[in-house]
Structure 1
């Protein structure tokens, strides 16, 4: 019995030592990155968030979605001090049809060029006054959340997931007044890499 207890204690001590060594390496990499003026390597397990917070999100998906309305105007994720990329977005937003009757349905698709993947989206249909209009339809996908922005209902939609994808589509209902909209998206590839203001061509809501 004593021998078994000694072996178990030795194994536990070895496991703790390995964990501490792994943690030390991670901390060292982060410190060296900061000293060199380089960004800390991205962690693929850091959850995308469009909530107002200064901390990296660690809560379940349902909790992260609770504050989505806070980004209705900016459409920017809350990822510490990360800024949008200045390069051309490797994504495109398309809508079909491009002419629709009032209250009619439009399918909005976001896809990566050359199958570039993403982990987060925030999409609105903006009119000529830069206001979100119309409403998105619900989805069975657990990663999709509808948000009420301003006085509207379900006029913004998000997709947030740990697992990257290269294409996703939403359904949108046009408002009951004639207008022209463009679908505007913020696309998040990783926690510190995202593109803002990715837009579709014009969609005309006819009388």
Structure 2
């Protein structure tokens, strides 16, 4: 009887230790890593962490300054002077039109990198993209499709991102230069 009790305690300790070590072992991260609550303010909920007030060591660089509805453009997200990031959350927004994300991030982004996930922020679909990894990177290129219909009189779109250097160190409201979107399918001269 004592043997069974000792064996039971030993097995419980073994399973508890296994569960703990598995939960904290480096490996794949949760693919659904950005909650929908981040759609508006784009601030990660990481305990009591607050965004850095230092200038962001990252930039967003669209491949064009002008585009037509339906065009696919690339946005290069990169660190300045070799700065690396482990997380990114990005949307495109219309200048002066609030916080709604517009356009669509292309499925090919997920196919190129398993650390990239496309998500939806209402009222749109596939209008947010995230990257998360345990290993920091200096740059990643993301493909985005210009929306077919922008709000009346709105023709400038910009990209806004949150970059994570680590769990507790991150920057919000990192914006790209605006892109002019033609309302009639012709480039602005």
Residue in structure 2 matching 1:137, options 106, 120, 125: 106
Deviation (angstroms), 1:177: 2.3
Aligned-partner SS, 1:114: helix
Q: Matched residues in 1 for 2:162 and 2:178: separation?
A: 17
Deviation (angstroms), 1:61: 2.5
**1:105 touches 1:173 (CA, 8 Å); kept in 2?**
yes
TM-score normalized by the length of structure 2: 0.75
TM-score normalized by the length of structure 1: 0.68
User: 1:198 corresponds to which residue?
Assistant: 174
1:61 paired with 2:29, answer yes
Aligned length: 151
Structure 2: state its 5+ residue gaps: 1-23, 184-189
Deviation (angstroms), 1:68: 2.7
User: 2:4 corresponds to which residue?
Assistant: none
Structure 1: state its 5+ residue gaps: 1-45, 47-57
Q: Deviations over 1:62-84 (max 9, x none)?
A: 4543x532210110111101000
Larger helix fraction of residues:
1
Whose relative contact order is higher, 1 or 2, with alpha carbons under 8 Å and at least 6 apart?
A: 2
Aligned-partner SS, 2:123: coil
Q: Deviations over 1:100-124 (max 9, x none)?
A: 0001111001110001000000000
User: 1:159 corresponds to which residue?
Assistant: 131
Q: How does 1:36-115 map to 2 (within 5 A)?
A: 60-62=28-30, 64-65=32-33, 68-115=35-82
| Structure 1 vs Structure 2 CA RMSD | 2.0
